[in-house]
Structure 1
Amino acid sequence: MKEIIVSENSRRSFIARSAAAAVVAVPVVAALAGGEPAAAADPLPDYAPIPPSALGPALNAQGYYVGRIERNLYWVTDGTYQAAFLTTRDGVVLFDAPPTIGHNLQRAIDQIAAANGVTNKVTHLVYSHHHADHLGASSLFGRNVVRIGHAETKRLLRRDNDPARPAPDVTFEDRYTLRVGGQRVNLAWHGTNHTPDNVYIHFPDHDTLMLVDVALPGWVPIYNLNLSEDVAGFMAAPGTALSYPWKHYVAGHLGRLGTRDDVVLHQQYVADIAANVRTSLASVDPTPYFVKYGANTWAAVKTYLDAVTDLAAAPVIAKYTGVLAAADVFTASSTLTILESIRLDLGFGSQVHA
């Protein structure tokens, strides 16, 4: 087979064109994020249009946007993933390194450093959790960067043995305050949620909280409630996030920063799913499905749970379409995940043999 070589410039051009086609913004959203609005796009096929409130600023020609959150705290996005960085007199502290942003992380840092006359050298890299989609560009910053993460992050990365994600050098169990160049960042673990090691990153002097893969501003969670490993913990996490004082929210995904209202809306969406699941479990009789499929038990289980899921998801999809992006795309998947947690973790709807 003939080898196909794609140049770095061509790759960046493709990413920028693809992102520009996918990212749309209205002036109010762009103003919140500090960028210029993107051009309007045609409605997406097959699914409901994306609400303008879900979208962020336009990307530059290299496929990223970098903006100030407060003072010397900045965020970077490629329209799907997000990272943040703090410039200090002693170096730059980077928070996550998504591979889809990749080398654009350093370009964004260089851009801000040049504009403000500060160093562009990354000295510390804080891990939100161990997943490769948020850390896969960590190795780009070399071995001399001090990496910081939860103790479980270190254990999981040693297990995974991925050279792109070096294990953290500094770890903590519950709380850790990072102090660099006169700046402070508070890291905390409040139990499992999306993953066993996902941490809260609070910037008390910048009115900002970073919590990755939980509430996604303007969007519903992706498959299976953001592929969360602890559904009950995931559902409790927004409440913990709101217990912190902050104005700006870095979610790790999609094209804009979040607000407290975004996290509250996410809570309401998930609570509506859970309430409908309980109602549907109480109203759908499993007997006809087991009678119909006889010895094929898994077919009976599938069709019964699908029926409960569809009944529970339908009113949520109707309520949030046009409010949260992709409500019609992923609500059913997350409803099944919440259904199984309510059945198996909480024991609601269990059928006891007479």
Structure 2
Amino acid sequence: MSVFDSPTSRRSLLARSAKVAAVPAIAALGSSALITPASADTTGLPDYAPIPPSALGPAVNAQGYYVGRIERNLYWVTDGTYQAAFLTTKDGVVLFDAPPTIGRNLQRAIDEIARANGVSNKVTHIVYSHHHADHLGASSLFGRDVERIGHAETRRLLLRDNDPARPVPDVTFERRKTLHIGGERIELAHLGTNHTPDNVYIHFPDHDTLMLVDVNLPGWVPFQSFNLDEDGPGSIAAPAKALAYPWKHHVGGHMGRLGTREDMTVHQQYIADLVDGVKAALTHVDPTPFFVKYGDNTWAAVKEYQSAQTKYAADPVIRKYTGVLAAADVYTQSTAFVILESIRLDLGIGSQVHA
């Protein structure tokens, strides 16, 4: 296993290359930016609250990955920013997602476990959580002989996208599918849209684990604009659906550690607090000053009005979760905006009929 006896500073240093690789625009700056970070001009960049140590996972190794056992023959791999999982079976390896930032380290991690346990390192199946390239962009590295499994909508979207890095699933399902591979059982379910129309729940009933990607990022607030979710109500409802399963470990697809049921509950409460704040903002923030100020410039009035609403909703949530969830002061306001629009447009709350 790639286990390090390491303080946070060592963990952060080793993870830096993986985190930069996750953002192509930064990676394009070249290696010099990583070699001499002290020379970078940080003048004018904002300060944010410290990251709670509880949000951080184990250190990555010199090759930029960590692989660890979840339970028995189920393992997870991370580069500190993305996650995948795999099962070793008597017939080969079943891989769950193939993030390009982890890339060829996926096979290195599998090889490491296979050598340690005397099992096959051959990937025979890849299960797709959803169609997004940041979670599947290394799928093609495993060749054409691998059987790929995903939701029917994943196949449709990948056919549309025509990306050779993401071969379409060979086997699809609509609602539920139970996989029996190499003596192992995996339950797949599509319980409605959330992050995307095709995002699925992957349950390992014999390993006390649920893989649900891009909904709850354990220890962290959602990424920009509510994880760029396509369905607000579906994403708000997803944690309750996840908690209805029996599990102890959660693979969330992002950041550097596994999740727990407590992490899912905290995420659920964080979103509920934002929903409450947004509903209050729709009632208590007066639009009049903004439209008086900007007159015919309707977009300026709307922009500033909605900024005031999201600030009203987000500020108490930021105060409550700073030190509890990492980056509460970074992305909460953008998530509040998405929830505001979902509450307003999807649920009709705050809409007024002209008399």
Q: Secondary structure at the match of 2:179?
A: strand
Matching residue of 2:140: 139
Matching residue of 2:15: 19
Identity over aligned pairs, percent: 77
Matches within 5 A, 1:127-206: 127-206=128-207
Compute the TM-score of the two structures, normalised by the length of structure 1: 0.88
**Is the deviation greater in 289-298 or in 302-311?**
289-298
Distance 1:158 1:207 in 2: 34
Distance 1:346 1:139 in 2: 40
Query: What does the per-residue CA deviation read over 1:70-97, in whole Å, with 9 as the maximum and x for residues that have no partner?
Result: 0000000000000000000001000000
Query: What does the per-residue CA deviation read over 1:162-208, in whole Å, with 9 as the maximum and x for residues that have no partner?
Result: 00000000000001111111101000000000000000000000010
Query: Amino acid of the residue matched to residue 61 of structure 2?
Result: N
Residue 17 of structure 1: how far off its partner (Å): 5.0
Distance 2:285 2:65 in 1: 48
Residue 45 of structure 1: how far off its partner (Å): 6.8
Distance 1:74 1:312 in 2: 39
Instruction: Confirm or deny: 8 A CA contact 1:193 1:237 kept in the other structure.
Output: yes
Distance 1:249 1:209 in 2: 5
Residue 20 of structure 1: how far off its partner (Å): 5.1
Q: CA RMSD in A?
A: 1.6
Matches within 5 A, 1:141-290: 141-290=142-291
Residue 18 of structure 1: how far off its partner (Å): 5.5
Matches within 5 A, 1:311-326: 311-326=312-327
Residue 244 of structure 1: how far off its partner (Å): 0.3
Query: What does the per-residue CA deviation read over 1:288-327, in whole Å, with 9 as the maximum and x for residues that have no partner?
Result: 2112211111111111111101111000001101000000
Instruction: Confirm or deny: 8 A CA contact 1:151 1:172 kept in the other structure.
Output: yes
Matching residue of 1:87: 88
Distance 2:89 2:263 in 1: 29
Distance 2:211 2:238 in 1: 12
* Distance verdict in 2 for CA 1:196–1:87, change over 3 Å: same
Matching residue of 1:7: none
Matching residue of 1:299: 300
Matching residue of 2:50: 49
Matches within 5 A, 1:53-132: 53-132=54-133
2:345 corresponds to 1:344: yes
Residue 353 of structure 1: how far off its partner (Å): 2.2
Unaligned regions of 5+ residues in structure 1, if any? Answer: 1-15, 24-43
Query: Amino acid of the residue matched to residue 199 of structure 2?
Result: N
Q: Secondary structure at the match of 2:111?
A: helix
Instruction: Confirm or deny: 8 A CA contact 2:49 2:322 kept in the other structure.
Output: yes
Query: What does the per-residue CA deviation read over 1:259-278, in whole Å, with 9 as the maximum and x for residues that have no partner?
Result: 00000000000000000111
Q: Secondary structure at the match of 1:332?
A: helix
Distance 1:235 1:295 in 2: 36
Query: Amino acid of the residue matched to residue 198 of structure 2?
Result: D
Distance 1:182 1:245 in 2: 21
Distance 1:118 1:213 in 2: 31
Distance 2:90 2:18 in 1: 37
Runs of 4+ more than 3 Å apart? 20-23
* Distance verdict in 2 for CA 1:281–1:45, change over 3 Å: closer
**Is the deviation greater in 279-288 or in 216-225?**
279-288
Instruction: Confirm or deny: 8 A CA contact 1:20 1:59 kept in the other structure.
Output: no
Instruction: Confirm or deny: 8 A CA contact 2:18 2:79 kept in the other structure.
Output: no
Distance 1:281 1:274 in 2: 11
Query: What does the per-residue CA deviation read over 1:320-340, in whole Å, with 9 as the maximum and x for residues that have no partner?
Result: 010000000000000000000
Compute the TM-score of the two structures, normalised by the length of structure 2: 0.88
Distance 1:231 1:96 in 2: 24
Distance 2:16 2:234 in 1: 35
Distance 1:74 1:202 in 2: 14
Unaligned regions of 5+ residues in structure 2, if any? Answer: 1-11, 20-44
Residue 125 of structure 1: how far off its partner (Å): 0.1
Instruction: Confirm or deny: 8 A CA contact 2:18 2:81 kept in the other structure.
Output: no
Query: Amino acid of the residue matched to residue 197 of structure 1?
Result: D
Query: What does the per-residue CA deviation read over 1:114-170, in whole Å, with 9 as the maximum and x for residues that have no partner?
Result: 000000000000000000000000000000000000000000000000000000000
Query: Amino acid of the residue matched to residue 194 of structure 2?
Result: N
Distance 2:210 2:189 in 1: 11
What is the number of residues matched between the two proteins?
Answer: 320
